[in-house]
Structure 1
Amino acid sequence: MSQCQGNYDIKKHPCFSADAHGKFGRIHLPVSPVCNIQCRFCKRGFNKSEWRPGVSRALLTPVAAVEVLDRAVKLCPELTVVGIAGPGDTLAGDYALETFRLVHERYPDLIKCLSTNGLLLKEKIASLVEAGVKAITVTMNAVDVKILAQICSHIVCNGQYITGEAAGRWLILAQLAGIEKAVSLGVTVKVNTVLIPGVNDKHVGDIARAAANAGAAFINIIPLIPEHEFRNHRSPDCMEINAARMIAEDYLPVFRHCQQCRADACGIPGGKMDFAEKLYDKRFISFSHG
């Protein structure tokens, strides 16, 4: 498949295409500070040392994010994708949307991409498309409420704090409805599933089937990084990851090159060095959105 549902070439997106991995660059702009769900393995923070989602050197305003992007395109001329992946959820506030509007006005030819838990995707996707977003990754770790209750401790939606299986039911329905709406608007959707041994490792086929039925184009199985409540839980081994990928592949193409990047990553995945260290100085460390 050389083209995705939108009108851009998927082979230029290193997080969606194996052909682009090691060839084209991406930048993650850390403008989203808060999250509206709590996964039991997720621990957000600010540092320079950890290589995992949810961490960043700084938190940027939308205007400062464009300044960082201006510097990034000079450092990495192979950059084709502007993404927002945290350090919180991109749709829990409006900073990501504001950033994409500014970026799209200045760099209309760059692919705009975001990662989200999907809780508010259906409500916000039309505005995101207007701001130039063409690709979205939705993290779906279960489509069974009992399993999701083991992974996600609570959600906050419409001012309601919801826990347990009720939270799982709400989140699953929102994710599937959001994917369907995004695809109907021409957005390419990839699903990320964090593989957690003993929790959702026997459930991957169900997730992939549901994601495919909703219209997702790809699935990405990534290993658990033990943090927070799961800090003593083991990561899956290579055999377990490969087995899960083979099961998922019955329903969706599997992306196999994910590096579980930071929220401020910049560079060519699998290729050139990461340029983030050169992008941030005292001007950008660290802003609080309040």
Structure 2
Amino acid sequence: MDYTLIKYDRHPCFSFEVSHKYARMHLPVAPHCNISCNYCNRKFDCLHESRPGVTSEILSPEAALQKYKFVKDRLSNISVVGIAGPGDALANWEKTSLTVDLIKRSDPDVLFCLSTNGLMLPDYAREIIDLGIRHVTVTVNCLSPEIGEQIYRFVDYKGKRYKGGEGAGLVIENQLSGIKSLAVQGVAVKVNIVMIQGINDNHIPEVIKKVKDLGAFISNIMPLIPAPGSLFENLPQTCMKEINRMRNICSG
């Protein structure tokens, strides 16, 4: 795969060169999630929270199309439509895929980006590719079920709820399989990692190496920001000094 073609495309999250030239728009059409992460509270919403995954409304695919048209008419440099929640894009695949299809018919030049926990990637990788989605972000917090069971409270997969190391192992297996399936088909995969001190911080270089070997294009180590109401609400926020130290360690 020729990553130089991706480096200079129109996706501000994947290319530093275009990050100040193009804009992205997130459409909240995916309300349901299939993993309960201990750092997450999807009900949290306030005036100062505008990050992906936090929203004051859920849109139908048809409403998302109308909102896209409204914003595009006023902000012509929008190049990317992202679906990042507030649940998981693939746990709501019918709504996610219909949204992409409707907007693609209206604007064939727009890029699409999905953010997912990766649990359903093996099930939908082929459909993602066939739909023309070329950027996917996967949150991979660990490779070890023993670490994962400290991060994931439960996992709902194909009608069954998994807990502990069994649930975490299922998540990890599907994430890695899905990343490989997408990367070999030319999809630019970005991997996000939430750095949680005392839980997965020393494990992160191993995660970075593994996803790179699978074909991930770029990674992003993010701080734990304790969300009110989450199980990790009383953990300390990961400081940027430690984030940057870890980024330097992994940059090789």
1:108–1:132 CA contact under 8 A, matched in 2? no
Residue matched to 1:77? 76
Matching residue's letter, 1:212: K
> Does structure 1 residue 185 correspond to structure 2 residue 185?
yes
Aligned to 2:220: 220
Q: Which residue of 1 aligns with 2:198?
A: 198
Counterpart CA distance in 2 for 1:15 and 1:135 is 10
Aligned residues: 246
TM-score with structure 2 length normalisation?
0.94
Quote how far apart the aligned CAs of 1:79 are: 0.6
What is the rounded CA distance, in whole Å, between the counterparts of 1:45 and 1:71 in structure 2? 27
Secondary structure of residue in 2 paired with 1:222: strand
Structure 2 equivalent of residue 266 of structure 1: none
Alpha-carbon offset, residue 23 of structure 1 = 1.7
Question: In the alignment, which residue of structure 2 is the partner of 1:30?
Answer: 28
Structure 1 vs Structure 2 CA RMSD: 1.4
Give the AA of the match of 1:112.
Answer: F
**What's the counterpart of residue 241 of structure 1?**
243
- Which structure has more RCO (C-alpha within 8 Å, separation ≥ 6)? 1
Instruction: Confirm or deny: 8 A CA contact 2:149 2:164 kept in the other structure.
Output: yes
- How far the C-alpha of 1:19 sits from its partner, in A, is 1.4
Structure 1 CA distance, aligned partners of 2:224 and 2:238?
Answer: 7
- For 2:46 and 2:10, locate their aligned partners in 1 and report how far apart those are by CA, in whole Å: 28
TM-score if structure 1 supplies the norm length? 0.82
Alpha-carbon distance in structure 1 between the residues aligned to 2:189 and 2:238: 25
- CA gap 1:83/1:53 in 2 versus in 1, 3 angstroms: closer
Q: Using the TM superposition, give the Cα deviation of residue 128 of structure 1 relative to its aligned residue in structure 2, in angstroms.
A: 1.8
Q: CA deviation at 1:10?
A: 4.2
Distance 1:111 1:100 in 2: 10
1:174 is paired with a residue of what secondary structure? helix
Query: Residues 194 and 118 from structure 1, CA distance in 2 versus in 1: closer, same or farther, beyond 3 angstroms?
Result: same
Contact 1:13 1:20 in 2 (8 A): yes
Structure 1 residue 29: deviation in Å? 0.5
Give the 3-state SS of the residue equivalent to 1:185 in structure 2. coil
Question: What secondary structure sits across from 1:44 in the alignment?
Answer: coil
Quick check: 48-57 or 76-85, which moved more?
Answer: 48-57
CA contact under 8 A between 1:154 and 1:162: conserved in structure 2? yes
Q: Name the structure 2 match of 1:97.
A: 97
- The CA deviation at 1:170 is 0.6
Which of 49-58 and 25-34 deviates more? Answer: 49-58
Ranges in structure 2 where 5+ consecutive residues have no aligned partner: none
Q: What is the distance in 2 between the residues matched to 1:48 and 1:40? A: 20
**Structure 1: runs of 5 or more not aligned:** 251-290
Tell me which amino acid in the other structure corresponds to 1:58: E
Q: CA deviation at 1:52?
A: 3.4
Kept in 1: contact 2:84–2:115 (CA 8 A): yes
CA contact (8 A) 1:24 1:80 kept: yes
Question: 1:231-269: per-residue Cα shift (whole Å, max 9, x none)?
Answer: 11111112100111112212xxxxxxxxxxxxxxxxxxx
For the 8 Å contact 2:8–2:17, the answer to whether it is kept is no
| CA displacement at 1:102 relative to structure 2 | 1.1
* 2:42 counterpart residue number: 44
Determine the C-alpha separation between the residues in 2 that align with 1:124 and 1:37: 17
Equivalent-residue separation in structure 1 for 2:203 and 2:8 (angstroms) = 28
The 1:60–1:169 alpha-carbon spacing in structure 2 relative to 1, beyond 3 Å, is same
Q: Is the 8 A contact 1:46 1:57 kept in 2?
A: no
Task: For residue 138 of structure 1, give the secondary structure of its aligned residue in structure 2.
Answer: strand
- Residue equivalent to 2:16: 18
Q: Runs in 1 of length 4+ with deviation above 4 angstroms? A: none
